[in-house]
Structure 1
Amino acid sequence: MKTHVKALVVGGGAVGASIAYHLARAGWSDVMLLERDELTSGSTWHAAGLLPLFNMSYATTHIHKYSVDFYKTLEQETGLNAGFSVVGNLRMAQTQDRMDEYMLYASTAETCDVPFEWLSPAQIKDRWPLVRTEDLKGAIFHPTDGYINPADVTMAMAKGARQRGVTIERKWQVDGYEWTGADWKVTCTKMVEKGGNLVSSEEQVVITAEHVVTATGNHAQRTARLLGIKIPAIPVEHQFIVTEPDPALVEYRKQGGAEHPVLRDADAKWYVREERGGWILGPYERNAPARFAYGVPDSFRADLFPLDLDRIEEEYMSMIHRLPSSETVGLKDDFNGPICYTPDGNPLVGPAPGLRNMWLAEGFSFGITAAGGTGYYLAQMMVEGEAEIDMASLDPKRYGSWMTTEYAVRKNEEAYEHVFILHHPDEEREACRPLRTSPAYDRQAARGAQFGSVNGWERPNYYAPEGFKDHAARSFRRGGWWQYAVEEAKAIREGVGLIDATAFTKHVVKGPGATAFVDWFTCNKLPKVGRINLTYALTDAGTTRTEYTIVRLGEDEYYMVSAGAWTAYDADYLKKAAADKVDEFGYVEIQDVTTQWGVFAIAGPKSRDVLKAVIKDGDPETALSNKRFPWLSARQIELGMCPVNAIRVAYTGELGWELHHPIEMQNYLFDLLEQAGEQHGMKLVGARAQNWLRQEKSYRAFGTELGRDATPLEADLPRFVDLSKDFHGKAAMEAKGIRSKCCTLLIDGPADADPWGREALYLGDGTRVGRLTSGGYSVAFSKSIGMGYVRPDLAVDGQRLKVRMFDQLWDAIVVCDSPYDPKNEAIRKDG
């Protein structure tokens, strides 16, 4: 057995086998995979083997598409048939709302080159006469996927890995990880059979590995304990049943009928596929419990749980409704096994928080579908430094240290239940909320705040009248909340509004090495003391890793503000980068002060008037003037009795300030500002209106326009890149050139809908040339607005394009950067 390898993969399911295969294919020949039992003995063996391409995530759609394409090549390479039945996938809709969901999803599919077809109820019935269709609105059909044998595809990937030099060892359990500063010492114990159980022997080895990847499936909590980190991957029971042969189905196939595609009745919450003349039914019912919250018992191997037929009675009866011939067919077999979930249903793929050369591939609720693509893109991250697509949405650090076991259990159960629940783009799931609240939460709730959850924080999305129910207002078109967001956006453009931005991530970086480090770490010029700038930290590949607003507090002290959703993600990257450069730049102290400071953003033409009424200064009339408090500067001021670090900047593009205040004084400051704002008509404003307003100013946002698949130059932000200095990622950024370019578009869309930021863009001749990354409504232009990436030659003012919404093409025009107030006259207004 080898004791030194380049990369050690822990876990021998489909995901682990794929990672080992793709690392070897990417050039790392010295790779080993360890499995504590037999290959496929975890969730892989009892998976139904479906390959659904449907996913609202851009990254996950790419992953799934790669898997479907890759699995079709395995037999030619390895000689093993992966058992892929390319029968297609028919996703049916009983309501127009469901069809709207499919049309929104289709936008993502288009941008990822996933083929699909639209079918009417009559067309469904014509192709598959056993399906009842009179109560359907239609369906989306993916002709290129279907189902696969999980064990066969795993064995094929394992054989392909061996052919490329990978060593696979079975019956070895990892019992310890130790980082030496250069590599990992991994303690492994030989497992032996004893009385039907798998138990540890006395034989141990220590493997030295430069990189470790964990793909431990249901055992993720054990992995988390061994590594001393949190991994919110906990299994949930998933059951499916297999029926006896259906005589009507047998006869249909005997008469030459084509095999049914995988059938999904999303409104009934199940999938069905053919199985040896019968049917497999897999429901996603309510109240499926999480299991193994603190680890898998030693006695649990390739085992199952008792079936709970009462829990799936509703879904079983709806299958009979959709396939009437199944009513008299008996049950042949049943499965109820653990399938890992995460709080948002997406896997955890990428570097482990706080650790070096430790990579996670955990929490796969659709592991067979995701295995191939996960191996491919994770191998790119490990070997090349970054994947060709932005993998941030799957990063393990999207959950911070505030996440607990109970939170993961309850959210994972919710994610399971929501597999087939309508995925509105304005969806806000309710489990475990409220959890993280700023002090002003109760005051905002009393004034009608409808909250969203960002990194566990409750953040107002918009404000509505008493009795308004957010869940009833959601839609794929303009929801019931839309009118309130319009009023809030207008308030900032015409008067004054107050936004709670407490969730912002905030770090203080200081020390003798701080200036040299921050200058290297970010791509823009550093501000002078008392000034601010907008800048970016890049990846090794030269793409955008993080956006920062930097306030220079002193010669060697910086206050760095970044997106609220990414606190742990940003902290991990910042701290590791500083540690890597300590010998070159000197000591740097980094403090996460996110929870110490609340933030209110006040913006609008009357924002200065509100602050004048409460600022404690020798001359309130001039304290906030351009001379004493210019745009893009920071000052410590006093508002009433509250000390405030005020920054003259506004994400909305209006005159405004960010008011960073001690969080324990937030309620006092809220009351003070609310009282002062009353005579000026100040309105409380939520995140949705703010999102529209920032698009009118062409302000890019991290996670949409800014990400690890595009450079700041491709985001068309050369004014924030100082090419005269050396900075991390500069050479890689310049080598990439401009592959696509970000621009803003005004859109003449449908009267009842706006884009969501995932729609495909076309030329008038039907050539696809890009995609939207953000979308919404512009109160300044009274039409839809969006931002996105197109071919560089098309990102010019006046270029006419088309955007697909609800399966129609609508006119769009590229507009100059910052179409609202392009000269920044409003934001620089004196007074």
Structure 2
Amino acid sequence: MRQHARVVVIGGGAMGVSLLYHLAKRGWSDAVLVERQELTAGSTWHAAGLCTHFAHNATIMEMRAHSVRLYREVLTAETGLPTGFHASGALRVTRSPERMAEFRHVQGLGRFVGYDFNILTPAELKKIYPLCETDGILGAFHEPHDGHVDPTLATNAMAAGARSRGAEILRHNPVQSIERTASGEWLVRTAQGDIRAEHVVNAAGTWCREVGTMMGIDLPVVPMLHQYVVTDTVPEIAARIAAGEKELPIIRDPEESWYLRQERDGYIVGPYEKAAHPWAIDGVPPAFGMELLPPDLDRVEHIIALAMERVPALANAGIKTVVNGPITFTPDANPLVGPAFGLPNGWLLTGSSMGVMEGGGAGAFLADWIVDSEPPRDALAIDPRRFGNYADRDYRVDKAVECFGLQFGVHYPYEEREAGRPRRTTPALDIQLSQGAVLGAAYGWERPNWFATGNFDRDPPLTFKRPGWLGAVKGECLAVRDSAGLIDLSAFSKFEVSGPDAEAFMAALGANTPPSRLGRIGLIHVLSERGGVASEFTVTRLEQHRFYLTSAALAERHDEDLLRARSAPFAGVVIENITERRGVLGVMGPNAAEILQAVSQVDLSSAAFPWLSAQTIRVAGIKVTALRVSYAGESGWELHVQLAQFRRLYETIAKAGAKHGLRPFGVYALNFMRLEKGYRGWGADLTTERTPLEAGLGALVKADGRSFVGREAMLERQKASPWRMALLEIDDDGERLPFYSHAVLQDGRPVGVITSGGYGFRTSKLLALAYLRPGVPEREFGISILGKELAAHELREAPYDPRNLRLRGLDHLQPAASV
């Protein structure tokens, strides 16, 4: 056994073996996989092996598509070993108009990514699946390139491919402990001996929490019990085989929550019950491996009965086997693929409830990330750092149960799921609720999405079209434009960077230079090695060697890791995460200065307190760091205060603003208003896939005479064939609202994708930001939204206050017609 390795992978399921295989293909053959029992032990060996392209996120769709290509073609061609892949295709049927809208949305995303999905009529469904009854069916989603694979054959083929390139697999070798040495190496102690490694990867699946504890992290993963039934011979299928008919496609009914696939001359039927059953929450039994739990068909027989009604042939078969085993769920049902927070060269590849379906692609994704030091595509949906300390035991259990029960749930835009909440709150939450706040959750923080005032329903139906809260949000936007608005921005991630080397560190951090003067504010985009946008910070220079940074709520762990890693060469730098100690209250609009002036002795005029400056002031005796910035595009301030003082500050401002038309507003209104200014949002419009130059942020890039990570790669990409971001105005059909992942069309072909969208109530325009492929001319476009193509054109400048006169408090110099 090797005593040194570049990478140690812990876990021999589909995901871990896929990583080993793809690392070896990338030339990292000095890699070892250790498995406590046999390969596929845990959940891989008993998986149903379904493979799909269907996803609501482009990264996950491509990850699943990679698995299909790998199992269908690549592995057998490389190793000569079978994977048992059946290219059967797949169907999803529905009786729901909202589900049909979801199907059309995924179809549009697939069109951009490069995968063709078909929407079928009931008659077309019957032709493809003659054993299916179509009564009540509105339509079906057809995935022609889907199929199913033998999990054990596929895993062993990947293992053979890894071994042939020099990687090593050690079975029956449980890990006993994991340590970080003084030199920064990982020391993995196993039953067969110790291995020192540069990188360690937790791909332990069912046992990932135990391995995580050894690494020093608490993973938000719960094993959930899932059953499926393997039938005896189904006469109708046997007759089809005898007649030479091709294999039936996999069929799913999301409303009834089951899947059905042909298994030789019978069926596998897999139900997902709404009342889910967590298992081994606080630790998997030490002896558990390739065992199953006893059948419990009483839990699922009502779902199987529904499947029999839809496919009557299923009722004609007896039961051969019942498989009841654990599969892992995270709080959002997406896997954990990427860095382990706070652990340099510690990685996670686990938490997938669909480990075989996603394993081939997830292993390739993480191999690229490890080798290249950055993800190959936008990783936000799968990055393990998307969860924080708030994801405790109760949270992970509650969310896993919710996700299991909604395994086939419709994925609506603007959906807020309630399980596990609340987790992080500000002291003003009760006041906001009394004002009509309808809350959302962002990285565990409860924050108002919008305010239900007057006759607005607090709980309007979820939809893919125009939501019931749109009228309330319109009122909020117009109040901010005409008087003033109050918004809770406490969910921001917040950091202080200080020390004798702080200035040098900040100067080298990203594409822009930090503010040179005390009390000034700037925007810095930190780049990846390939020049993409890794993160975005609002930077305030508080003192000569002290900076205050804020960033997106979802980026808290991501950005803390990034700051600590980038500051490593600077010995005299201290990074402090102060997110939970600060609250942030935004006061925006033309009356903002007058409202604050009533409770403060500081001169708040634009001359004394200009845009993009900061001062420490007192508001009704409360010490506040006031930043003259506004994501809404109106004159205003962010008031950063100790969280313990946040409630008193909120009450003070609300009372002072009552006679000035001050109105609370939420993040939905803020998001719509920022689109009218063309402001990009991290995680949606700004990702590692695109450079700040491609994002249209050239004014914030200072590359001359400077050195920073990603500089050369960014400039080279700009010389080649860059993508570009466009702000689009879309024809308003009165029914649809753009959000994300809609294909942008030109001459009928997909040339781009919308990253964010909404309605600009101050300008009466339907707006979206979109990335366009290299070489796409500035012409008219079509936007495919839920199966309908809407005309769109590119705007040359922001439609609202393009000269920033309102932001600067100089709107008296601007004719009203140009606002």
- The equivalent residue for 1:48 is 48
Letter in 1 for 2:710: G
* Residue number among 539, 543, 553 corresponding to 1:554 in the alignment: 543
Q: CA deviation at 1:182?
A: 4.3
Does the alignment pair 1:634 with 2:614? yes
- The equivalent residue for 1:10 is 10
- The equivalent residue for 2:271 is 283
* Residue number among 522, 544, 550 corresponding to 2:533 in the alignment: 544
- The equivalent residue for 1:314 is 302
Letter in 1 for 2:425: T
Aligned positions of 1:349-368 closer than 5 A = 349-368=337-356
* Residue number among 576, 584, 588 corresponding to 1:599 in the alignment: 584
Letter in 2 for 1:760: A
- The equivalent residue for 1:611 is 596
Does the alignment pair 1:590 with 2:572? no
Q: CA deviation at 1:276?
A: 2.5
- The equivalent residue for 1:201 is none
* Residue number among 713, 721, 733 corresponding to 1:732 in the alignment: 713
Q: TM-score, normalised by structure 1?
A: 0.95
Letter in 1 for 2:423: L
The answer to whether the Cα contact below 8 Å between 1:534 and 1:720 also exists between their aligned partners in 2 is yes
Question: How many angstroms apart in 1 are the aligned matches of 2:595 and 2:11?
Answer: 60
Does the alignment pair 1:790 with 2:772? yes
Letter in 1 for 2:395: Y
Does the alignment pair 1:325 with 2:313? yes
What is the DSSP-based 3-state SS (H/G/I as helix, E as strand, rest coil) of the residue aligned with 1:18? helix
The 1:703–1:493 alpha-carbon spacing in structure 2 relative to 1, beyond 3 Å, is same
* Residue number among 790, 805, 815 corresponding to 1:825 in the alignment: 805
- The equivalent residue for 2:500 is 512
What is the DSSP-based 3-state SS (H/G/I as helix, E as strand, rest coil) of the residue aligned with 1:258? coil
Q: TM-score, normalised by structure 2?
A: 0.96
Q: Percent identity?
A: 39
Aligned positions of 1:454-465 closer than 5 A = 454-465=442-453
- The equivalent residue for 1:102 is 103
- The equivalent residue for 2:330 is 342
- 1:679-726 per-residue CA deviation (whole Å, 9 max, x = no partner) reads 122221111111111111111111011111111111111111111222
What is the DSSP-based 3-state SS (H/G/I as helix, E as strand, rest coil) of the residue aligned with 1:458? strand
Q: What are the ranges of 5 or more consecutive residues in structure 2 without an aligned counterpart?
A: 813-819
Does the alignment pair 1:767 with 2:752? no
Aligned positions of 1:53-92 closer than 5 A = 53-72=53-72, 73-92=74-93
The 1:795–1:445 alpha-carbon spacing in structure 2 relative to 1, beyond 3 Å, is farther
Question: How many angstroms apart in 2 are the aligned matches of 1:133 and 1:569?
Answer: 47
Which 10-residue stretch deviates more, 82-91 or 489-498?
A: 489-498
Q: CA deviation at 1:25?
A: 0.6
Count of residues in Structure 1 that have an aligned counterpart in Structure 2:
806
- 1:172-196 per-residue CA deviation (whole Å, 9 max, x = no partner) reads 1111222225453434433xxxxxx
- 1:323-344 per-residue CA deviation (whole Å, 9 max, x = no partner) reads 1232343222101111011001
- The equivalent residue for 2:817 is none
Q: CA deviation at 1:776?
A: 0.9
Question: How many angstroms apart in 1 are the aligned matches of 2:415 and 2:35?
Answer: 39
Question: How many angstroms apart in 1 are the aligned matches of 2:381 and 2:507?
Answer: 27
- The equivalent residue for 1:193 is none
Letter in 2 for 1:698: G
Letter in 2 for 1:728: V
- The equivalent residue for 1:432 is 420
What is the DSSP-based 3-state SS (H/G/I as helix, E as strand, rest coil) of the residue aligned with 1:44? coil
Letter in 1 for 2:412: H
The 1:469–1:334 alpha-carbon spacing in structure 2 relative to 1, beyond 3 Å, is farther
Letter in 2 for 1:70: L
Question: How many angstroms apart in 2 are the aligned matches of 1:120 and 1:471?
Answer: 32
The 1:185–1:454 alpha-carbon spacing in structure 2 relative to 1, beyond 3 Å, is closer
The answer to whether the Cα contact below 8 Å between 2:390 and 2:423 also exists between their aligned partners in 1 is no
Question: How many angstroms apart in 2 are the aligned matches of 1:25 and 1:104?
Answer: 35
Question: How many angstroms apart in 2 are the aligned matches of 1:388 and 1:821?
Answer: 37
- The equivalent residue for 2:784 is 804
The 1:681–1:466 alpha-carbon spacing in structure 2 relative to 1, beyond 3 Å, is closer
The answer to whether the Cα contact below 8 Å between 1:6 and 1:209 also exists between their aligned partners in 2 is yes
Q: CA deviation at 1:434?
A: 1.5
Question: How many angstroms apart in 2 are the aligned matches of 1:183 and 1:721?
Answer: 34
The answer to whether the Cα contact below 8 Å between 2:460 and 2:469 also exists between their aligned partners in 1 is no
- The equivalent residue for 1:700 is 680
Letter in 1 for 2:57: S
Aligned positions of 1:438-449 closer than 5 A = 438-449=426-437
Q: CA deviation at 1:470?
A: 5.2
The 1:147–1:749 alpha-carbon spacing in structure 2 relative to 1, beyond 3 Å, is farther
The answer to whether the Cα contact below 8 Å between 2:129 and 2:249 also exists between their aligned partners in 1 is no
The answer to whether the Cα contact below 8 Å between 1:742 and 1:795 also exists between their aligned partners in 2 is no
* Residue number among 390, 409, 416 corresponding to 2:397 in the alignment: 409
Does the alignment pair 1:745 with 2:728? yes
Question: How many angstroms apart in 1 are the aligned matches of 2:142 and 2:425?
Answer: 43
Which 10-residue stretch deviates more, 149-158 or 404-413?
A: 404-413
CA RMSD of aligned residues (A): 1.6
Which 10-residue stretch deviates more, 230-239 or 308-317?
A: 308-317
* Residue number among 243, 254, 277 corresponding to 1:266 in the alignment: 254
Q: CA deviation at 1:732?
A: 2.3
- The equivalent residue for 1:643 is 623
Q: CA deviation at 1:554?
A: 0.5
* Residue number among 550, 553, 559 corresponding to 1:570 in the alignment: 559
What is the DSSP-based 3-state SS (H/G/I as helix, E as strand, rest coil) of the residue aligned with 2:409? coil
- 1:459-510 per-residue CA deviation (whole Å, 9 max, x = no partner) reads 1111114896655431111111121112212221222111110000110111
- The equivalent residue for 1:620 is none
Does the alignment pair 1:778 with 2:734? no
The 1:768–1:81 alpha-carbon spacing in structure 2 relative to 1, beyond 3 Å, is same
Question: How many angstroms apart in 2 are the aligned matches of 1:471 and 1:355?
Answer: 41
The answer to whether the Cα contact below 8 Å between 1:83 and 1:152 also exists between their aligned partners in 2 is yes
Letter in 1 for 2:533: T
Aligned positions of 1:369-518 closer than 5 A = 369-465=357-453, 471-518=459-506
Question: How many angstroms apart in 2 are the aligned matches of 1:822 and 1:762?
Answer: 27
- 1:556-597 per-residue CA deviation (whole Å, 9 max, x = no partner) reads 00000000111111111111221x213xxx311111111111
Question: How many angstroms apart in 2 are the aligned matches of 1:490 and 1:185?
Answer: 56
Letter in 2 for 1:732: A
